[in-house]
Structure 1
Amino acid sequence: MLILASQSPRRRELMKYITDDYTVKVSDVDETLPDGISPEEAVLCLSKIKARPFASPQDTVIGADTVVAIDGEILGKPANKEDAALMLRKLSGKTHSVFTGVTVIKNGKEHSFYAETKVTFFNLGDDEIAKYVATGEPLDKAGAYGIQGYGCLLVEKIDGDYFNVVGLPVSKLNHLLMSI
């Protein structure tokens, strides 16, 4: 059985490009990371933590985690609307990185990778930020935006995998699944 260890509705939606034959399982994991950890280390660590509780000899388990990083700071999901607005102000007019770490556990072996996509935002005014935050869309997303929703209006350009920004580098994951 193929298991997606994620509560993200976006990852569930993206999995359809690979297969419809999978089950979703979610464990309540502590996502607290040590200070000074790099974004790459963070997403790899969290993807493993999410996948490991469901590892078994007969199953293939996929765990994933996404963060946004700018100027050395990791931005996870905002705590509230004020936090979302603060994050969006930090991203305004700048290029940031979106990292997604993926761990696949099959036959007791862990296979992990991460993908990085560069995203550049337009300069955003306070009214534009307030309007976007009022949609509620930013509240459950790393970096306080969803490129697949109204957040697309904030983005000037991307360099890399669009689906990585949504939350799952589908092509890279598919190639890994086919190779193991």
Structure 2
Amino acid sequence: MHHRPAIYLASASPRRRELLTQIGIRFERVSCEIDETPKPSETAIAYVERLARAKAEAGIAAALAAGLPKRLLLAADTTVAFGNVILGKPLDADDAQAMLGQLSGSSHEVLTGVAISNGERTEYALSRSTVRFRTLSASEIAAYVASGEPMDKAGSYGAQGLGAVLINEIQGSFSGVVGLPLTETVTLLQRFDYPFWSA
């Protein structure tokens, strides 16, 4: 599988890097900054699509402006939706504790939007998963927040790390909950004739 062409990745997330490496896709990171503030009354589904597409378009524009070789670029955005409320990355430890207190003993949705662009067109897919937390004690929440793991993650937890012990059940895509749904990612790549299965 080492003949697959490299792509660009418009993400600093170590989880996304690990997931792409897991399925043998080589990548080069491209930096792009966009405003991730939700718009008033924006739904979580609309929010992740807007951000994933914006990251893809900003990333491919940055790559081309830098004179880099033309390649596909992948971007993604993950958010947690608790009812109609978007739970992004926590502002601080108190915010993380409050989010985890909300999620304790209940179910929420994890939405990851994936966008791939070649500079001329952008293709998009959405992964929706339901995650159910067991009931957490205040001391468990405090200890988890003190570990530092929640601080750069939507919803203040990481399903692939210590946060796995908070979860009773996942319905949907585990890789999508971690930050990059692999089935949707490969499906999008193939829409650009990316030779995923080539030896």
Output the TM-score relative to the length of structure 1.
0.95
Instruction: After TM superposition, give the deviation of residue 33 of structure 1 in Å.
Output: 2.1
Match of 2:59 in 1: 54
Answering whether residue 126 of structure 2 is matched by residue 114 of structure 1, we say yes
Match of 1:7 in 2: 12
Which moves more between the two structures, 15-24 or 133-142?
15-24
Which moves more between the two structures, 17-26 or 72-81?
17-26
User: Separation in 1 of the partners of 2:32 and 2:70?
Assistant: 19
Report if the CA contact (8 A) 2:126-2:184 is conserved.
no
User: Separation in 1 of the partners of 2:56 and 2:187?
Assistant: 18
Partner SS for 1:16 = helix
Match of 2:101 in 1: 89
Answering whether residue 148 of structure 2 is matched by residue 136 of structure 1, we say yes
Instruction: After TM superposition, give the deviation of residue 21 of structure 1 in Å.
Output: 1.9
Q: Which amino acid aligns with 1:93?
A: G
Match of 1:101 in 2: 113
Report if the CA contact (8 A) 1:138-1:144 is conserved.
yes
Match of 2:27 in 1: 22
User: Separation in 2 of the partners of 1:136 and 1:100?
Assistant: 23
Instruction: After TM superposition, give the deviation of residue 51 of structure 1 in Å.
Output: 1.2
Instruction: After TM superposition, give the deviation of residue 107 of structure 1 in Å.
Output: 5.1
Report if the CA contact (8 A) 1:17-1:170 is conserved.
no
Report if the CA contact (8 A) 1:18-1:174 is conserved.
no
Instruction: After TM superposition, give the deviation of residue 141 of structure 1 in Å.
Output: 0.2
Instruction: After TM superposition, give the deviation of residue 130 of structure 1 in Å.
Output: 0.5
Match of 1:167 in 2: 179
Match of 2:196 in 1: none
* Same amino acid, percent of matched pairs: 40
Runs of at least 5 residues in structure 2 that lack an aligned partner in the other structure:
1-5, 193-199
Runs of at least 5 residues in structure 1 that lack an aligned partner in the other structure:
none
Partner SS for 1:28 = coil
Which moves more between the two structures, 33-42 or 161-170?
33-42
Q: Which amino acid aligns with 1:67?
A: T
Structure 2 residue aligned with 1:79, among 79, 87, 91?
A: 91
Structure 2 residue aligned with 1:155, among 167, 178, 192?
A: 167
Report if the CA contact (8 A) 2:16-2:180 is conserved.
yes
Partner SS for 2:40 = coil
Structure 2 residue aligned with 1:45, among 47, 50, 53?
A: 50
Report if the CA contact (8 A) 2:117-2:123 is conserved.
yes
Output the TM-score relative to the length of structure 2.
0.87
